Chain A
Amino acid sequence: MSSTQEEFNTHSLSVELMNEVQQFLYREARLQDTEKFRDWLNMLTEDIHYWMPYRYQRYRKNEKEPTIYDQAYYNDKMEDLKKRILRTETGTCWSEDPATRAAHIVTNIEVELSSNPNEYQVYSLITVRRNMNEDEEHTMVGHRTDTLRRVGGELKLAKRKIILDQNIFMNKSLNVYL
């Protein structure tokens, strides 16, 4: 029920850029699905902020934006993401053996130019279908707002904010990145 009219400024957006961003997000999804986490880290800037804040259900009059000082599923910098990835490489990560099967589905991609010619704001919807153990199937949906930055000609992810739809997270673990 937003009262302000959004202004869309997409006419200067090239098909090439749109394509490049899409390919970036699909590649990221494939690296996640295939557990190539170190390769995925190479797609991030050194000053990455990977953030998925807590979710509460509130009356409209009480709604408020989460801050980075609130609790969060993820509130990670590069060194933190590296810790998570180290966990999966120790050889003693029992809950990941047998491996989780995950499909990262990226849709609803929108690219916006910003005042910085090297940065783009990208919106997308991430759906992860996770299958594990005998027959456990979980679906998680997140609304992503990313900042992509061109570094030495290459696109990198510099910021990601993920807003989860689920109020109570419906699964025992979040062992995939959204």
Chain B
Amino acid sequence: MATNNDFNNYIDTKKGWVDRRIFWDQEIYEQELKQIFAKSWQFVAHDSMLPNVNDFYTTYMGEDGVVVARQKDLSVKVFLNSCPHRGNKFCYADDGNTRSFTCNYHGWSFGIDGKLGALANEHVYDKGDIDKEKWGPRQARVDNYKGLIFATFDPEAPSLEEWLGDFRWYLDMMLDGDGSGTEFIGGGIKSYVNANWKFGVENFVGDAYHALWNHDSGLKAMNNGEGFGQAVTEGSYHASVNGHGWEFGTDGFADVIIMGRPKWTEYVQNVLKPQMKKRLGELRSTIYGSLASVSLFPNCSFLPGIQTFRVWLPRGPRKLELRTWTIVNKSMPDDIKQEINIGCMQTFNPAGVLEMDDGENWEGNTSVNKGYLTRQEKLHYGCGINRQIEHQELPGTIYAGQFNDANQRQFYQRWADLMNANNWDDVPTRYTPRYSGKPTV
């Protein structure tokens, strides 16, 4: 055990409950930074955010600030944004293009590769005082899945391919639907929510349920006054791969229509879906665009069809920083990209008619736990607990019906597995892989 706390005591996937203290306690949060964010592969940037040599973007892995930087050979490096001299951040910009970073405090400078270079007034150092090779910021392992840049600071972590596992089969709907690759629309929106980071992730990993009630007004706004109608369980699923989760229907268009841009709906129907059908097959071309939401463990989410893409960065147990972008396929015509940009932003950013109603709930979920008695109470995660099935085509752990808590239960199981693990051998694979070592297109 990584501490003497057994984190399986905080969840029960058989009875279907989660202990509220995991959304509140500082000690548990510190353990998350160590056991989850210092070990997991995390999304740090999209390739399109750093198209040119010397482009950089700054973000966080857990609460560790990092620089993501495009190298001369077009590879990407990710390193801590902290000067090894006295610790100051050496880059205070969100993104940009530069050959080097110079720390404001004493003037140490670092190349775009993170290596320590010239020191201001270097003559104050005697020969032998510093070995520059040894005093650069710590470097992460970096890998890329179809345009998404991931990093981990754990040299022992499994490969990114293994980390994503069979979830690649699902990811390809978003990242490889027409073979042209994806890009982000320029810029990005960042906001704070006074909520535990897991509430954002678990909402996207499996909570189709809330959409019907919580988002009724937003859905009506985007769909000419019409709401969603009845929850359909037939032909809809929860799919989980070691905590990554995709909940989805097979209606084909609900999430596309929610964006409220008829030109986009037409494009999906006439151009994108036929291409996807050829490339990924009938089932995946049907799933794409249906009522759905997705999270990658630990803290990255997106909506296929609405095209919002985001990370939930932890800022203490009671606060998160949400970074949102809009993702499009490279091959899409400019006017379609702009339709998506506008429709996605109108629904999903702090001013979006859907997003606006979410933060409110997550802040409530979190803040009530200031009550000592309140946080001793459990939360119910039992919906659809007996609906597990096998599916011929769908990889991962599959539950029938997208109105279900299955993906959330699997997410918290993965959370407990990592929180408890002393090393990677302790971390179980909780599904039967079908695509190990195999491509998913």
Contacts and interface: CB of A to CB of B under 8 A. Distances in A.
B218 interface: yes
A70 B185 contact: yes
A71 B221 contact: no
B349 interface: yes
B360 A171 contact: no
Contacts of B341: 69-71, 75
B94 A167 contact: yes
A145 B441 CA distance: 49
Contacts of B350: 73, 169, 171-174
A164 to B, nearest CB: 10
A76 to B, nearest CB: 7
B230 to A, nearest CB: 16
B217 A90 contact: yes
Given A84-B353, A173-B360, A174-B356, A71 B189 contact: yes
B283 interface: no
A61 B100 CA distance: 13
A92 B187 contact: no
Contacts of B221: 83-84, 86-87, 90
B289 interface: no
Q: Is the interface of B mostly helix, strand, loop or mixed?
A: mixed
B233 to A, nearest CB: 22
Interface stretch (B13-21, B127-135, B191-199, B410-418): B191-199
A62 B97 contact: yes
Interface string B350-373: 110101110110110000000000
A83 B352 CA distance: 11
Contacts of A172: 191-195, 350, 359-360, 362-363
A55 to B, nearest CB: 8
B333 interface: no
A70 B187 contact: yes
B12 interface: no
B218 A87 contact: yes
* Most chain B C-beta atoms within 10 Å of own C-beta, residue among A62, A67, A83, A170: A83
A92 B356 contact: no
B176 interface: no
Contacts of B190: 167-169
A57 B192 contact: no
B423 to A, nearest CB: 36
B269 interface: no
A26 interface: no
A8 interface: no
B108 interface: no
A95 B94 contact: no
Given A167-B190, A172-B359, A80 B95 contact: no
B89 interface: no
Contacts of A88: 217
Interface string B249-280: 00000000000100000000000000000000
A87 B342 contact: no
Contacts of A70: 185-187, 341
A40 interface: no
B188 interface: yes
A56 B98 CA distance: 16
B351 A173 contact: yes
Contacts of A93: 217, 357
Q: Is the interface of A mostly helix, strand, loop or mixed?
A: loop
B214 interface: yes
Interface in B282-326: 321, 324-326
Interface string A68-109: 011111111000100110111011111100000000000000
A56 B187 CA distance: 7
Nearest to B353: A87
A174 B342 CA distance: 16
B124 interface: no
B217 A173 contact: no
A93 B326 CA distance: 25
Contact of A171 (B191, B217, B227): B191
A92 B219 CA distance: 10
A69 B357 contact: no
A94 B342 contact: no
A54 interface: yes
B188 A174 contact: no
B325 A71 contact: yes
Contacts of A73: 189, 345, 349-351
B107 to A, nearest CB: 16
A128 to B, nearest CB: 12
A168 B324 CA distance: 11
B96 A59 contact: yes
A11 interface: no
Interface string B170-210: 00000000000000011111111111000000000000000
B248 to A, nearest CB: 24
A84 B96 CA distance: 34
Contacts of B218: 87
A175 interface: yes
The 3 lowest CB-CB distance pairs between A and B, nearest first, are: A172-B359, A62-B96, A87-B221
12 contacts: A57-B92, A62-B93, A62-B97, A69-B338, A71-B341, A73-B350, A75-B341, A75-B342, A83-B222, A169-B190, A169-B191, A170-B191
Interface of B: 92-98, 185-195, 214, 216-218, 220-222, 225, 227, 260, 321, 324-326, 337-338, 341-342, 345-346, 349-351, 353, 355-357, 359-360, 362-363
Given A67-B186, A71-B324, 12 more contacts: A53-B187, A57-B92, A58-B94, A69-B186, A71-B185, A71-B189, A72-B187, A73-B349, A83-B353, A84-B346, A93-B217, A173-B356
